[in-house]
Copies of this chain bind each other. A is one copy, B any other.
Amino acid sequence: MSPMDQALAEARAAAARNEVPVGAVVLGPGGQVLARAGNRTEADADASAHAEMLALREAARRLGTPRLIGCDLVVTLEPCPMCAAALVHFRIRRLVFGAYDPKGGGVEHGPRIFDAPGCLHRPEVVGGVQEAECGALLQVFFQKLRASNSIEIISIKGLSDHGSL
């Protein structure tokens, strides 16, 4: 299973527990999987528990170092500004993401963290990998939510905020 397929599996598992379906995988310098995670903001009562943050922290824990030199992150959705800035702190070598997030993304949209003044490290960025599949997961999730919930909540939150619903 490719890294993005593994990230998609994490995203599907997140959807199954009513979390916004985003999944992430951290690969070590040799391409081995160091960590994988899906969103857990509800499960962990933690608005920062995005898939990327959880996978980055788990990978660093496994390596026993605060930085992930030579490691890559693969994630189904363009990271938000918080996660993009975390990639800088962790010194991630390459970011591969699936769907673009015009509302809440922080790499190609919004504050464009890697291009902002003072950014200390810029990972290589590859966007749009298996974009349709990654985006469809989110679309289906929010369509179901819209059908069962008030539209007001969705319009306040937007697709971008991986947080609680």
Interface-lining segment among A8-16, A39-47, A122-130: A39-47
Indicate which residue in B61, B64, B106, B164 contacts A85 across the interface (CB closer than 8 Å). Answer: B106
Number of copies: 2
- Could you tell me the distance between the alpha carbons of A61 and B86 in the complex, rounded to whole angstroms? 21
Provide the A89-133 mask, 1 if CB < 8 A to any CB of B, else 0. Answer: 111000000000001101001111100111110000000000000
Provide the A37-63 mask, 1 if CB < 8 A to any CB of B, else 0. Answer: 000011011111100010011001101
A117 — which chain B residues lie within 8 A by C-beta?
109-111
Tell me the A residues contacting B by CB distance below 8 Å. 41-42, 44-49, 53, 56-57, 60-61, 63-68, 80-82, 84-86, 88-91, 103-104, 106, 109-113, 116-120, 157-158, 160-164
* 29 A-B contacts (beta carbon < 8 Å): A44-B66, A45-B61, A45-B63, A45-B65, A47-B66, A47-B67, A47-B68, A47-B89, A47-B90, A48-B56, A65-B164, A66-B163, A67-B163, A81-B111, A82-B82, A82-B89, A85-B106, A103-B118, A109-B118, A110-B117, A111-B111, A111-B112, A111-B113, A111-B116, A111-B117, A118-B160, A120-B158, A120-B160, A120-B161
Secondary structure of the A contact surface, majority rule: loop
- Could you tell me the distance between the alpha carbons of A44 and B65 in the complex, rounded to whole angstroms? 9
- Could you tell me the distance between the alpha carbons of A159 and B106 in the complex, rounded to whole angstroms? 23
Tell me how far the C-beta of A160 lies from the nearest C-beta in chain B, rounded to whole angstroms: 7
A65 — which chain B residues lie within 8 A by C-beta?
45, 164
Residue contact B116 to A67, C-beta cutoff 8 Å: no
